[in-house]
Structure 1
Amino acid sequence: MSHPTKKTNGSAFFLFCLGGLASYGGSRRRYGRDFSKDDILEQGTRQAIYETIEKNPGLHFRRICRALDKKMGVVQYHVSVLEKNGLIRSIRDGRYKCFFAENTDDMISPEDRPSEEEQSLRESIITSLRRKTPQLLITHLAMETVASHQALSNVAQVSPQAITFHTQKLQKEGIIESEKQGRQKFYSLSSKARTITESLMRAP
Protein backbone atom coordinates (compact mmCIF):
# COMPACT_ATOMS: atom_id res chain seq x y z
CA MET A 1 0.00 0.00 0.00
CA SER A 2 1.47 3.30 -1.04
CA HIS A 3 1.57 6.16 1.40
CA PRO A 4 0.35 9.60 0.32
CA THR A 5 3.15 12.01 -0.42
CA LYS A 6 3.24 14.91 2.00
CA LYS A 7 3.25 18.18 0.13
CA THR A 8 5.90 20.61 1.32
CA ASN A 9 4.96 24.24 1.63
CA GLY A 10 7.74 26.29 -0.02
CA SER A 11 7.34 29.28 2.31
CA ALA A 12 7.34 27.09 5.40
CA PHE A 13 10.49 25.31 4.22
CA PHE A 14 12.21 28.66 3.57
CA LEU A 15 11.32 29.91 7.06
CA PHE A 16 12.57 26.64 8.54
CA CYS A 17 15.94 27.08 6.79
CA LEU A 18 16.13 30.73 7.80
CA GLY A 19 15.41 29.76 11.39
CA GLY A 20 18.32 27.33 11.29
CA LEU A 21 20.63 30.03 9.99
CA ALA A 22 19.44 32.46 12.63
CA SER A 23 20.17 29.95 15.38
CA TYR A 24 23.67 29.58 13.93
CA GLY A 25 24.02 33.33 13.95
CA GLY A 26 22.74 33.67 17.50
CA SER A 27 25.58 31.77 19.13
CA ARG A 28 29.25 31.18 18.47
CA ARG A 29 28.90 27.64 19.81
CA ARG A 30 26.80 24.98 18.08
CA TYR A 31 27.02 21.18 18.17
CA GLY A 32 30.05 21.42 20.47
CA ARG A 33 32.01 23.64 18.08
CA ASP A 34 33.22 27.19 18.72
CA PHE A 35 32.78 29.45 15.70
CA SER A 36 35.61 31.89 15.11
CA LYS A 37 35.40 35.34 13.58
CA ASP A 38 36.59 33.84 10.27
CA ASP A 39 33.80 31.23 10.38
CA ILE A 40 31.15 33.91 10.81
CA LEU A 41 32.63 36.09 8.06
CA GLU A 42 32.84 33.26 5.52
CA GLN A 43 29.58 34.48 3.98
CA GLY A 44 30.40 37.13 1.35
CA THR A 45 27.65 39.67 2.05
CA ARG A 46 28.21 39.42 5.80
CA GLN A 47 31.93 40.06 5.36
CA ALA A 48 31.23 43.07 3.12
CA ILE A 49 28.88 44.53 5.75
CA TYR A 50 31.43 43.98 8.52
CA GLU A 51 34.26 45.58 6.52
CA THR A 52 32.05 48.55 5.61
CA ILE A 53 31.26 49.16 9.29
CA GLU A 54 34.89 48.63 10.29
CA LYS A 55 36.11 51.22 7.76
CA ASN A 56 33.23 53.65 8.40
CA PRO A 57 32.42 53.56 12.13
CA GLY A 58 29.10 55.09 13.11
CA LEU A 59 27.27 54.34 9.84
CA HIS A 60 23.54 54.01 10.25
CA PHE A 61 21.52 51.17 8.77
CA ARG A 62 20.21 52.83 5.60
CA ARG A 63 23.66 54.12 4.67
CA ILE A 64 25.04 50.58 4.92
CA CYS A 65 22.28 49.42 2.54
CA ARG A 66 23.08 52.23 0.10
CA ALA A 67 26.85 51.71 0.31
CA LEU A 68 26.52 48.03 -0.60
CA ASP A 69 23.44 48.37 -2.82
CA LYS A 70 21.68 45.65 -0.82
CA LYS A 71 18.04 45.26 0.18
CA MET A 72 17.15 46.18 3.75
CA GLY A 73 15.98 42.67 4.65
CA VAL A 74 19.28 41.13 3.56
CA VAL A 75 21.36 43.67 5.48
CA GLN A 76 19.11 43.38 8.54
CA TYR A 77 19.63 39.62 8.71
CA HIS A 78 23.42 39.74 8.44
CA VAL A 79 23.71 42.72 10.81
CA SER A 80 21.72 40.69 13.34
CA VAL A 81 24.11 37.73 12.98
CA LEU A 82 27.15 39.99 13.40
CA GLU A 83 25.66 41.73 16.42
CA LYS A 84 24.59 38.51 18.16
CA ASN A 85 28.09 37.11 17.71
CA GLY A 86 29.73 40.20 19.19
CA LEU A 87 31.50 41.35 16.02
CA ILE A 88 29.60 44.65 15.86
CA ARG A 89 27.54 46.74 18.26
CA SER A 90 25.02 49.50 17.80
CA ILE A 91 24.07 52.72 19.55
CA ARG A 92 21.03 54.94 19.14
CA ASP A 93 21.49 58.44 17.77
CA GLY A 94 18.02 59.93 17.75
CA ARG A 95 15.97 57.91 15.28
CA TYR A 96 19.08 56.30 13.77
CA LYS A 97 20.81 53.10 14.81
CA CYS A 98 24.55 53.46 14.24
CA PHE A 99 27.01 50.57 14.05
CA PHE A 100 30.59 50.03 15.19
CA ALA A 101 32.94 47.08 14.77
CA GLU A 102 33.98 45.46 18.04
CA ASN A 103 37.69 45.28 18.73
CA THR A 104 38.36 41.53 18.78
CA ASP A 105 42.16 41.83 18.83
CA ASP A 106 43.29 39.67 21.77
CA MET A 107 46.82 41.08 21.43
CA ILE A 108 45.73 44.42 22.95
CA SER A 109 46.48 44.50 26.66
CA PRO A 110 43.71 45.47 29.11
CA GLU A 111 45.70 48.61 30.01
CA ASP A 112 45.60 49.83 26.39
CA ARG A 113 41.88 49.23 25.94
CA PRO A 114 39.69 52.32 26.39
CA SER A 115 37.29 52.37 29.31
CA GLU A 116 33.57 52.02 28.64
CA GLU A 117 33.16 55.74 29.33
CA GLU A 118 35.90 56.69 26.86
CA GLN A 119 34.54 54.32 24.23
CA SER A 120 31.00 55.67 24.66
CA LEU A 121 32.23 59.27 24.35
CA ARG A 122 34.28 58.45 21.25
CA GLU A 123 31.28 56.80 19.59
CA SER A 124 29.05 59.77 20.46
CA ILE A 125 31.57 62.13 18.86
CA ILE A 126 31.87 59.98 15.73
CA THR A 127 28.10 59.79 15.25
CA SER A 128 27.78 63.55 15.89
CA LEU A 129 30.45 64.27 13.28
CA ARG A 130 28.30 62.44 10.73
CA ARG A 131 25.55 65.07 11.08
CA LYS A 132 25.96 68.50 9.50
CA THR A 133 25.18 70.95 12.32
CA PRO A 134 26.86 69.02 15.18
CA GLN A 135 29.89 68.52 12.93
CA LEU A 136 30.17 72.27 12.34
CA LEU A 137 29.84 73.00 16.06
CA ILE A 138 32.39 70.40 17.18
CA THR A 139 35.02 71.25 14.55
CA HIS A 140 34.63 74.99 15.24
CA LEU A 141 35.10 74.47 18.98
CA ALA A 142 38.10 72.22 18.29
CA MET A 143 39.76 75.10 16.44
CA GLU A 144 38.51 78.15 18.37
CA THR A 145 38.46 76.70 21.92
CA VAL A 146 35.52 78.86 23.09
CA ALA A 147 32.54 80.29 21.21
CA SER A 148 29.39 82.17 22.15
CA HIS A 149 25.87 81.00 21.38
CA GLN A 150 25.54 83.62 18.65
CA ALA A 151 28.92 82.74 17.16
CA LEU A 152 27.88 79.10 16.82
CA SER A 153 24.62 80.21 15.23
CA ASN A 154 26.61 82.20 12.66
CA VAL A 155 29.03 79.33 11.98
CA ALA A 156 26.31 76.73 11.47
CA GLN A 157 23.97 79.20 9.74
CA VAL A 158 21.01 78.04 11.78
CA SER A 159 18.75 79.83 14.26
CA PRO A 160 19.74 80.37 17.92
CA GLN A 161 16.88 78.03 18.84
CA ALA A 162 18.44 75.27 16.71
CA ILE A 163 21.80 75.88 18.42
CA THR A 164 20.09 75.45 21.80
CA PHE A 165 18.71 72.08 20.68
CA HIS A 166 22.06 70.80 19.42
CA THR A 167 24.18 72.15 22.28
CA GLN A 168 21.86 70.62 24.88
CA LYS A 169 22.22 67.22 23.19
CA LEU A 170 26.01 67.56 22.93
CA GLN A 171 26.21 68.59 26.58
CA LYS A 172 24.12 65.61 27.64
CA GLU A 173 26.57 63.34 25.81
CA GLY A 174 29.55 64.96 27.55
CA ILE A 175 30.99 66.40 24.34
CA ILE A 176 30.72 70.11 25.18
CA GLU A 177 30.51 72.26 28.29
CA SER A 178 28.92 75.67 28.78
CA GLU A 179 29.53 78.69 30.96
CA LYS A 180 27.35 81.75 31.38
CA GLN A 181 29.00 85.17 31.46
CA GLY A 182 26.48 87.91 32.06
CA ARG A 183 23.68 87.41 29.57
CA GLN A 184 25.79 85.38 27.15
CA LYS A 185 26.49 81.67 27.10
CA PHE A 186 29.85 80.32 25.95
CA TYR A 187 30.66 76.78 24.86
CA SER A 188 33.81 74.67 24.72
CA LEU A 189 34.70 71.02 24.20
CA SER A 190 35.15 68.97 27.36
CA SER A 191 38.80 68.02 27.93
CA LYS A 192 38.23 64.35 27.06
CA ALA A 193 36.15 65.23 24.00
CA ARG A 194 38.87 67.62 22.80
CA THR A 195 41.52 64.90 23.01
CA ILE A 196 39.34 62.44 21.07
CA THR A 197 38.22 65.02 18.49
CA GLU A 198 41.77 66.18 17.79
CA SER A 199 42.91 62.57 17.31
CA LEU A 200 40.02 61.97 14.89
CA MET A 201 40.85 65.13 12.95
CA ARG A 202 44.50 64.05 12.66
CA ALA A 203 43.57 60.59 11.42
CA PRO A 204 44.12 60.04 7.66
Structure 2
Amino acid sequence: MSDRDLELPSRRAIYQRIADEPGVHFRALLGDLDYAQGTLQYHLRWLADENLIEVSDDGKYTRYYPAAEFDETDQAVMNALRREYSRRVLAHLLTDGPLSTTELSDRLDKANSTISWHLSKLADAGLVTKERNGRSVIYEVTEPDRVAMLYTVHRGSFTDRVVDRLLGLWDSY
Protein backbone atom coordinates (compact mmCIF):
# COMPACT_ATOMS: atom_id res chain seq x y z
CA MET A 1 0.00 0.00 0.00
CA SER A 2 1.43 3.34 -1.01
CA ASP A 3 0.78 6.73 0.55
CA ARG A 4 -1.06 7.62 -2.64
CA ASP A 5 -3.61 4.86 -2.00
CA LEU A 6 -4.81 6.63 1.11
CA GLU A 7 -4.10 10.25 0.20
CA LEU A 8 -7.71 11.32 0.64
CA PRO A 9 -8.52 12.04 4.31
CA SER A 10 -11.95 10.42 3.97
CA ARG A 11 -10.51 7.21 2.51
CA ARG A 12 -7.76 7.17 5.14
CA ALA A 13 -10.36 7.58 7.93
CA ILE A 14 -12.49 4.74 6.57
CA TYR A 15 -9.49 2.44 6.20
CA GLN A 16 -8.25 3.32 9.70
CA ARG A 17 -11.66 2.53 11.20
CA ILE A 18 -11.62 -0.89 9.48
CA ALA A 19 -8.07 -1.53 10.70
CA ASP A 20 -9.04 -0.53 14.26
CA GLU A 21 -12.19 -2.66 14.28
CA PRO A 22 -11.81 -5.57 11.85
CA GLY A 23 -15.18 -7.00 10.93
CA VAL A 24 -16.98 -3.69 11.29
CA HIS A 25 -20.15 -3.58 9.21
CA PHE A 26 -21.48 -0.91 6.87
CA ARG A 27 -24.13 0.54 9.22
CA ALA A 28 -21.59 0.91 12.01
CA LEU A 29 -19.21 2.72 9.65
CA LEU A 30 -22.06 4.92 8.48
CA GLY A 31 -23.04 5.75 12.05
CA ASP A 32 -19.50 6.39 13.28
CA LEU A 33 -18.13 8.34 10.34
CA ASP A 34 -19.62 11.57 9.08
CA TYR A 35 -20.03 10.58 5.43
CA ALA A 36 -23.05 10.26 3.20
CA GLN A 37 -24.07 6.70 2.38
CA GLY A 38 -23.05 7.02 -1.27
CA THR A 39 -19.66 8.47 -0.35
CA LEU A 40 -18.98 5.63 2.06
CA GLN A 41 -20.08 3.03 -0.51
CA TYR A 42 -17.84 4.60 -3.14
CA HIS A 43 -14.75 4.57 -0.91
CA LEU A 44 -15.38 1.04 0.35
CA ARG A 45 -15.74 -0.20 -3.23
CA TRP A 46 -12.53 1.65 -4.20
CA LEU A 47 -10.61 0.18 -1.23
CA ALA A 48 -11.86 -3.31 -2.13
CA ASP A 49 -11.03 -2.88 -5.84
CA GLU A 50 -7.51 -1.79 -4.87
CA ASN A 51 -7.19 -4.88 -2.63
CA LEU A 52 -6.72 -2.77 0.49
CA ILE A 53 -9.73 -4.27 2.25
CA GLU A 54 -11.60 -7.56 2.04
CA VAL A 55 -15.35 -7.89 2.19
CA SER A 56 -17.09 -10.70 4.09
CA ASP A 57 -20.80 -11.47 4.23
CA ASP A 58 -21.85 -13.11 7.49
CA GLY A 59 -25.43 -13.71 6.37
CA LYS A 60 -26.75 -10.59 8.06
CA TYR A 61 -24.08 -7.94 7.58
CA THR A 62 -21.40 -7.09 5.08
CA ARG A 63 -18.20 -6.80 7.10
CA TYR A 64 -14.85 -5.28 6.21
CA TYR A 65 -11.29 -6.38 7.00
CA PRO A 66 -7.83 -5.01 6.21
CA ALA A 67 -6.57 -7.04 3.25
CA ALA A 68 -4.33 -10.06 3.86
CA GLU A 69 -4.57 -9.82 7.66
CA PHE A 70 -7.40 -12.30 8.16
CA ASP A 71 -7.82 -15.59 6.34
CA GLU A 72 -11.30 -17.01 5.72
CA THR A 73 -11.40 -18.84 9.04
CA ASP A 74 -10.29 -15.74 10.95
CA GLN A 75 -13.00 -13.74 9.20
CA ALA A 76 -15.60 -16.36 10.14
CA VAL A 77 -14.44 -16.19 13.77
CA MET A 78 -14.50 -12.39 13.78
CA ASN A 79 -17.93 -12.34 12.11
CA ALA A 80 -19.22 -14.52 14.95
CA LEU A 81 -17.46 -12.50 17.62
CA ARG A 82 -19.11 -9.33 16.27
CA ARG A 83 -22.56 -10.83 17.01
CA GLU A 84 -23.38 -10.45 20.72
CA TYR A 85 -25.01 -13.80 21.44
CA SER A 86 -22.70 -15.78 19.17
CA ARG A 87 -19.81 -14.19 21.09
CA ARG A 88 -21.43 -15.19 24.39
CA VAL A 89 -22.09 -18.74 23.18
CA LEU A 90 -18.46 -19.07 22.12
CA ALA A 91 -17.29 -17.67 25.46
CA HIS A 92 -19.31 -20.25 27.41
CA LEU A 93 -18.11 -23.06 25.17
CA LEU A 94 -14.51 -21.91 25.61
CA THR A 95 -14.73 -21.65 29.37
CA ASP A 96 -17.02 -24.55 30.26
CA GLY A 97 -17.59 -26.54 27.07
CA PRO A 98 -18.57 -28.84 25.58
CA LEU A 99 -22.17 -27.90 26.39
CA SER A 100 -25.66 -28.77 25.19
CA THR A 101 -28.20 -26.33 23.78
CA THR A 102 -30.18 -26.52 27.03
CA GLU A 103 -27.11 -25.80 29.16
CA LEU A 104 -26.25 -22.80 26.99
CA SER A 105 -29.86 -21.63 27.05
CA ASP A 106 -29.87 -21.72 30.85
CA ARG A 107 -26.55 -19.88 31.11
CA LEU A 108 -27.55 -17.16 28.65
CA ASP A 109 -31.17 -16.93 29.81
CA LYS A 110 -32.38 -17.20 26.22
CA ALA A 111 -34.85 -19.55 24.58
CA ASN A 112 -33.53 -22.86 23.25
CA SER A 113 -34.62 -21.80 19.76
CA THR A 114 -32.50 -18.62 19.95
CA ILE A 115 -29.46 -20.53 21.13
CA SER A 116 -30.06 -23.23 18.50
CA TRP A 117 -30.14 -20.57 15.78
CA HIS A 118 -26.79 -19.14 16.91
CA LEU A 119 -25.27 -22.62 17.24
CA SER A 120 -26.51 -23.50 13.77
CA LYS A 121 -24.81 -20.40 12.34
CA LEU A 122 -21.61 -21.21 14.23
CA ALA A 123 -21.72 -24.82 12.98
CA ASP A 124 -22.36 -23.67 9.39
CA ALA A 125 -19.28 -21.45 9.67
CA GLY A 126 -17.25 -24.42 10.94
CA LEU A 127 -16.61 -22.81 14.31
CA VAL A 128 -18.32 -25.44 16.46
CA THR A 129 -18.83 -29.15 16.15
CA LYS A 130 -21.91 -30.97 17.31
CA GLU A 131 -22.31 -34.49 18.53
CA ARG A 132 -25.53 -36.23 19.47
CA ASN A 133 -25.55 -37.60 23.01
CA GLY A 134 -28.86 -39.37 23.53
CA ARG A 135 -31.57 -36.74 23.18
CA SER A 136 -29.10 -33.86 23.52
CA VAL A 137 -26.72 -32.32 21.06
CA ILE A 138 -23.37 -31.32 22.54
CA TYR A 139 -21.39 -28.43 21.03
CA GLU A 140 -17.67 -27.72 21.19
CA VAL A 141 -15.48 -24.98 19.70
CA THR A 142 -13.55 -26.34 16.71
CA GLU A 143 -10.41 -24.22 17.17
CA PRO A 144 -10.49 -22.85 20.72
CA ASP A 145 -6.98 -21.37 20.59
CA ARG A 146 -7.77 -19.40 17.43
CA VAL A 147 -11.06 -18.07 18.81
CA ALA A 148 -9.46 -17.11 22.13
CA MET A 149 -6.51 -15.45 20.40
CA LEU A 150 -8.70 -13.37 18.08
CA TYR A 151 -10.95 -12.39 20.96
CA THR A 152 -7.98 -11.41 23.12
CA VAL A 153 -6.28 -9.37 20.39
CA HIS A 154 -9.44 -7.52 19.37
CA ARG A 155 -11.42 -7.45 22.61
CA GLY A 156 -11.02 -3.69 22.90
CA SER A 157 -13.33 -3.39 19.90
CA PHE A 158 -16.02 -5.57 21.51
CA THR A 159 -18.26 -4.05 24.14
CA ASP A 160 -19.28 -7.04 26.19
CA ARG A 161 -18.21 -7.14 29.83
CA VAL A 162 -19.94 -10.49 30.37
CA VAL A 163 -17.66 -12.18 27.85
CA ASP A 164 -14.62 -10.32 29.19
CA ARG A 165 -15.31 -11.79 32.65
CA LEU A 166 -15.85 -15.31 31.30
CA LEU A 167 -12.72 -15.31 29.17
CA GLY A 168 -10.78 -13.65 31.99
CA LEU A 169 -11.60 -16.71 34.08
CA TRP A 170 -10.57 -18.96 31.20
CA ASP A 171 -7.20 -17.18 30.92
CA SER A 172 -6.49 -17.90 34.58
CA TYR A 173 -6.48 -21.69 34.08
Q: TM-score, normalised by structure 2?
A: 0.83
Separation in structure 1 between the aligned mates of residue 41 and residue 152 of structure 2, nearest angstrom = 33
Matched, 1:143 2:108: no
State the AA in 2 paired with 1:124. A
The answer on 1:58 being equivalent to 2:23 is yes
**Structure 2 counterpart of 1:194, which letter?**
P
Q: Could you list the runs of 4 or more consecutive aligned residues of structure 1 that deviate by over 4 angstroms after TM superposition?
A: none
Task: List runs of 5+ in structure 2 lacking aligned partners.
Answer: 156-173
Distance 2:97 2:57 in 1: 28
Q: CA deviation at 1:202?
A: 3.0
Higher relative contact order (CA 8 A, sep 6+): 2
Corresponding position: 1:202 with 2:167: no
Structure 1 counterpart SS, 2:126: coil
Corresponding residue to 1:68 among 27, 33, 38: 33
How many aligned residue pairs are there? 154
Query: Alignment partner for residue 127 of structure 1, among 41, 65, 79?
Result: 79
- What is the match of residue 141 of structure 2? 189
Aligned CA-pair RMSD: 1.6
Alignment of 1:52-131 (within 5 A): 52-103=17-68, 119-131=71-83
As a proportion of its length, which structure holds more helix?
A: 2
| Cα distance between partner residues in 1 of 2:50 and 2:152 | 32
For 1:126 and 1:61, locate their aligned partners in 2 and report how far apart those are by CA, in whole Å: 15
Please state how far the C-alpha of 1:142 moved relative to its aligned partner: 1.0
Q: Tell me which structure has the larger Cα radius of gyration.
A: 1
Identity over aligned pairs, percent? 28
Q: 1:60 and 1:202 mapped to 2: Cα distance?
A: 20
